[in-house]
Structure 1
Amino acid sequence: MICLLAPALLCSQAWAVDVQISQLTDAPDPAIRGGQITYSTFIENNADDTAHNVVLTFPLPATTTFVSVTDPPGTPTCSHDGGTPGTVTCTFGDLLGTLIGGPVYQIDTVIRTSGATGSTIDVTGSVSTSDSDSNLANNTLTQNTTIDDGADLVVAKTDSPDPVIAGGNVTYTITVTNNGPNSANAITVIDTLNDNMTYVSASGSGWSFSRVGQVVTCTRSTIANGATAPAITLVGRVTGAITGTITNVVTVSATTGDPDTSNNTTTQDTEVTLGTDLSITKVTVGAVIGNLTATFSLRPRNNGPFPADTVQVTDTLPAGFTYISAIGTGWSCSAVDQDITCTRATYAVGAANNITVQATAPASGTNITNTTVITATTPDPNLSNNTGSVTFNIVPDGADLSITKSKTPNPVAQGSNITSTMRVTNNGPRATSGTLTVTDTLSTGETYVSGSGTNWTCSHNGVNPGGVVTCTYGATPLASGASTSVLTVITTATNAGDLTNTSCASDAGVGGQPDGVSGNNCASATVTSTAARADLAISKSADAGGDTTLSVSENTITYTINVTNNGPDAATGVVLTDTIAGYVSSSTGVAVTSSPANYTCTTGSTVTCTQQSGSLASGATDQFVIQVSRPLFDGPQTNTATVNSTVVGDPDRTNNSTTATVTIDPIVDVQMQNKTVSPTSVAAGTQATYVLTFRNNGPSTAANVVVTDDFNLPVGGDTNFTFISATPTEGTCSWDNGTKILTCNGITLDNGESRTVTVIIRPNWQSGDPVRTINNTATIATDTTESNAANNSRTQTLSVTSSDLDLLVNKTDLVDPIGYESGVPANNTITYLVRITNRGASLATGLTLTDTMTPKNGKTLTFLGDKATPSGPIAPLCNNVGTSITGPATQTIICNFPDLAANTSYDRYLDFEVVTAPDPTGDTHNNIATVSVNEHDRLPANNSEAETTSVRMRVDLAVAKAPALNPVQLREPFNWTVTVTNNGPGDSTQTTVTDTLPAGMAFYGAAPSWSKTGPVGSGTCSTAGQNLTCNLGMLSSTGVATITMPVRVTAYPGGGTTTNCVTATTDQFDPNAANNTNQCGTVTVQRSSLAGYVYRDLDDDGSMDAGETGINAVTLTLTGTDAYGNTVNTTTTTNAGGDYLFNNLSPSDGTGYTVTETQPPLSYFDGLDSRDNGASAIPGSRTTDVIPSITVPANTALTGYLFGEIPAASISGYVWNDEDNDGAAMPVRLPASRTRKLP
């Protein structure tokens, strides 16, 4: 109001209004494309007048759609115009200034983005009034929201079979669909099997699987927009002993944001019916012997999860078998012909009660199959294991002995010894029980020399040469499946020609076992005895450059082998073999020459030279030269050569082999096999990974291997990068940043062994952000002599493209509004949290925050500095610390922060002190945070964030509540007294009190009223139902407001007390809400009651005597007026004992209450009514059933108000023929129809 004092004393009115958008927030930020965003707009009139025709307009961004808008409590009405995307408009009508108690309205507008929505969207809200606005600068506010890719994943699931029999498998089919709008990456499906199930398997094209307990995890790399991934098939078995429903839960997620998570989880219920999985197997116990008792073991099992009822095992014996018996614990067995049936009433889970079946086997048979089947009346989910079979042969009784035999040498020189070796095996089915004997029948051309072997005793009989060698085995019996020790028989080749002898084994003697298999009892062997004799002898020498050591400078070893025939006859069919020591497969070079050249030689790890023509005369020598070239295994190597004749017998074979030993010095071929970089092209500021793969091609061990990776190449590439790490599979690595060389040592490589080093670097941003390359060369070296240095290095080139990242800044004030307190700077500090997020992919360098602060006109703020934590010390990374700024001027603060890795955030807290006290309506200060980096920012629109902070006076409201009367009677009017105190230091320009009465209490009588000290100003108190709201306007510092609330208790509370709580709030800043929130008062509530009886007054004396019982279900009514003027009319009914009670009564007025009885049934006559348990009869009550003028005091329980009723009298007896005229009834009475009850 502006008044001009002039002669005319005219006063004109002007409105001082300031409608503003105090805040515009977004949630979430970043948001998901395809998802919803909630924008909260806060509207107020920051003035002391009323603004008229206030309207908020909120245009929606393109590519978005309207979802909803909230109408806050009060006047505003919000609506969307139906356009695409359209505008939200809210009409507020008249908006009261906050200085005179006006509200701050919050409007929540929800929109949904679409596939066409870009990386950011901007929204702007604007508020207007038909009045002159004192500050148009705060009528508009803009919010920027970052948009990330979104993929709406939907999971679906089916089961089969359903229902499933307990113990059976359930197959779940899981499908995942991406409803977009973008591709989904790194998808994870988690399926939790029910506790009553056991995992069986999981499969699905393109999916990877893992399991921990009941949780199965399925992953895949991507699902395109609009696509459905190949189905997942998950199989579980019901193993819990349950029936009914089991539930399976599956959830899908991805690293891509999901705009609708309500469809990410689904459940599948499967009905489980009673059942159990029975199985059976069958085996033979021992061999099945012809004509003897065969034993079979039938092994039924209940795999669960329930006991099986009425179980039956059937077994049909094969043809030719004769049933003997079938027994098993708990089984009842019988047989009809070949069919055996075993039954039992029930079979527990996990039971292992086997059935033993015995039958007489026929004499013979092969490939005989016997099958058994198990069934039950309990359903079985898996019939595939209900049958068990065994296939067997019938073997003859006894011990089936077999023998093996060999005979060397071949050929043998006439007159030289022959060695025969034999071994006997018992193939069963029984152990030997007689004398295990081997008879070896010699040819007529060989003479027995000796027979020996562990546990063997031999003798020869008959002619010699020739005859029979008999050997017995002492370690009997020989068990079925066992073999004897080796038996050796030495003979001499007496005659020339083929010498064949045959050995036979038997279980001879008394008690010996029969041998039903005769074909394997004997074995024969032959050698050729030659009359010609040639004693071949061999010698060997090695030469490696003049000695027997092959040094690292030497490549070839020469072996010289001489074969001499010591006679007496020429040798033909000569064969030389030489095993090359140190030979490296497919690598070692071997060359052979013979003199004379009538030998054909093959090379490799063994050299074999075979005489093709001619002969080696007695006394002659043939020479072989073998040249062996590297690579060779190092160390001492012994080479053995052997010579034999395949045609002529050798009388002395002890000189047929010779050795030569050489020492081979180690040589290796270490190779840098491969060097890869992934990815091959990276943006500056992102990491690249090199993998160096190196190996030792041998043949020796490479010692002290050193791998270097040199990035400081003189030609091409640059060195502007950061070394991150190097991880060797063996050894350790060190990095020299000066030389840009990586060195890895402590590595030993065996022949054929490979190792790797993984190196990670990050190319740095450089001025101009050019495209460039980084070259490097990896090299391997060893202290061991190398055979090939040409393969020791590999070079790799990394392409570096321009940097790429997205910085996002969010700024919030930790407290808004703040409460100003003069002289207490600590209470006048605004703390802003600046959160900078690097959304990748490059490292953010040169990270700079530019923070601008614009105070309200005429108000001063001081920048105190920045810090790492909200309550930590100032540790400046920003300039202008300690400088002040007065609005409307703007202060610019520059902060330099450390590098920020991709996908990480950096928090910094900035403190500003409010120097100037706020206006009564409060102040709003504007701050903008802007971030920048060296790197290219692909989305600069989210690099700035504005934040407004309100400053109010600091006000500490305290509220207390007490009843003016305590205790109170039920329905007695009384007042609650609410006292609101402003403890300061500031004035509360708008003070609001709210109170909700408890159930059973109501406002009564006069309207609530208020009073206060200090400026009276405006104020209102109003009630709505149980709720009280008082807008008290200004409450000065130290001021007190008192509210009187007339109420009454309408229902008696449990425990006899009731509590009522009150809350006071302010439009300023209250740092201590504890003393003004839910402050409660308690009042004790008292009640009265009236009780008595309705009874059978048998002696009609108005008093309830012994033996006089109550009357049930009689209705009584209490009427009158209570002490507080309320009309009372209440009804009750007697219980089974005739008691009645009128409870929860208020005290009566002076005339008292009246109790009226409704007359009982006609079978009663009205009796006398009384007070004081019959001591005071009520005159005239025989006809009224009324007890009047009952004065009920406060907090009193009255008793003894009696209503007497007189039961009707009766006479009964009999009428009979008194035939003997004695006045006594006859034993047999007349029928009932002949009697009559008299009244």
Structure 2
Amino acid sequence: MSRRRLLTAQVALAMAGGLAVVAPAAAAAAGPSGPALVSPRAGADRSVPARALPHAANIISKGAGTTRAVGRALSNQALVANLTITKVGEPDPVLAGDELTYTVTVTNTGDTVAGQVTVTDVLPAGVELLNNSAGCTNNNGTLTCVLGQLEPTQSVPLVIQVRVPANFAGLTLTNRATVTGRGDETPSTVTTTTVVRTAADLSLSKVCKPDEPAPAGAEGYCDIYVDNLGPSDAQNVTLTDVLTSAAPFRVSRVRVSPGTCSAIPTEPTRDFTLNCTLGTIAAGTRGVVRVVVTAEDVTQINDTATVRSTTADPDKDNNKATGRVDFLGSADLSLEKSGNTTVDAGGTLTYTITVTNNGPSTARDVVVRDTMPAGVAFVSVTPSVGTCTNGQPDGGRLECGLGNLASGPTGTATIEVVGRVAVDLVPGTRLFNDAIVSSATADPDNDDVRASVPTDVTASADLSVTKTDSPDPVTAGEQLKYTIVAVNAGPSNAENVVLTDTLPAGTTFVESSGDAVCTAEEPGEVVCTLGTLGVGTPGRTVKLTVAVGADVPDGTTLLNSVTVSSTTDDPDDTNNTATTETAVETSADLAIEAAATQTWQEQTAVTSGDKKDKDKGTIVLLTVTVRNLGPSDAQNITVLDTLPLRPDKVAVESLPSACTYDSGQDHVVTCTADSLAAGGTLVFPIKLKVRAEGELTNTATVSSTTDDPNLDNNTSTIRFFVWKKKN
């Protein structure tokens, strides 16, 4: 058909009531009466498996303004642009939660260019815009796409991608798009309707713990996970969980999120069906049900869960899950033991062993083993149930088979064991009797299956100590030795014997020797460990060496005491301490040494006019050194230095503050110090001006109020030469 005839036909159609163009896909689906429009009935089931469905129809309308365009075409007075728009939504039907793609095509079927072409697309309410073609902007769900200029016969496609909410409640989505442009006075509009259906892939998984069999009486659980893999929300979700076991078990509690579950049985059961209503599970979310179980004996609880929903499920293969919780027998055995707390050597000991099964299971093949203490011989054993055997040596290893012990008040057995203490067992010994119970049934708490009864053998040991010192008197700065002797008069051996020696002030511990290991525990205290001290032995001897401080004053009395102790009871503690007194004297070997060095210096007269005092003299530095060779500190030291020649020939230029000079006939420098520690040194520098030349002699002596054992080094005489400097 020619374009002129086509326009004539369009005019005729417009005069009949408007222009309708059906998209090819819609036309194919249309019947004799026109395009097929989808109008689902209210309340119809929208759930379908996910698959591709036919496209929606496009409805295009030009409106009343078409009459003017057709009139221009009939009169053939001018060329015009004619914009048409089509739109296809895929897929159709679309599943709630899936993506929907609209393809909009704008075509200029006119004779001339269409300018400022713009498409306006109003998105359906509730959808989420994911993407769109370039040139489009979104304003609260309305897309405006600027296409610019379209040549005659030119087509431009636009793509708009949206996501339908997973919880979309409607049955259809309606989308309307309009195209406008300069040269085509009448906008073209297309409306697309897409059917919305729902489908939710529910996936059921289960995790049961513990991985290993749990002891009877403990708890195990199965966590059931209902995952909605989408794309739509799952409505009216229900869960059925069937638990079965060959032996009785209990359902302790059930926790569900979201939703509620049916009541759990109050008594033990062998099978139970749990029904839970989970309501709506949104796409991408999870519902969780935890079922906690326990059993009192060996059993295996099988758990099978199934999930359903009124929303169509495209994959029902993952709607069921199984799990299992295993329980082992568990019997909490406890053992208690009582017996004598003290016993005489040669006497008898009686122990009572009580075994109790605190359940929850029967304890099978219960065995009690008892070890008699060393030094105690077996006499007899009497069990309330079962039989016992006693092994060697001396029948000290007992084993009693009690058979099976039921749980509860009747699950108790007793064993009485009698032994005799050896007559030569050392009093003071602590006897330990150990017993332990075991069973072929697992015990969840092994902290109470062993018991030990301590029994003390009566002991008494009379300890005494003596002490001597050497030398006495002792010189300050030298060593002092103490000899300590500890003796046990019995009647028992003394255990863990310790000597504690309190040193006098001014002394320090040096070393120990003899029958003990001694250490300085506290300042001024030495502790010696003797171990066990037997009866009737010569005793233990310990020698302590201490250093007397060099600064201890002459005439001091050193008071030293030592105490002996033991963990064994001592009936008489009046002889457990010994004391010695040591007198202190002092002695300090002082040594003196003098040395002289000289320098030249021109002395300036007191007045410039006095030529007699202007003299070139020699400066001599006289250094006097005093050393204390010990052993004691020296007190009240005096140094006398007799200078050479006369005062007019040798004059004192300067002195230390501790020195004075007698310029008279004695011509002596005197230096003093309150004390000088042993090993210490004093130095007195004396500067002299010498107006003579030749050999000079200087003598220095040192003395102290402290006794000096060697006076040979208390005087130092030196000869030195002085000569004048030659120009």
Structure 2 length-normalised TM: 0.42
Please say which structure displays the higher CA radius of gyration. Answer: 2
Structure 1 length-normalised TM: 0.28
In terms of fraction of residues, the more strand-rich structure is: 2
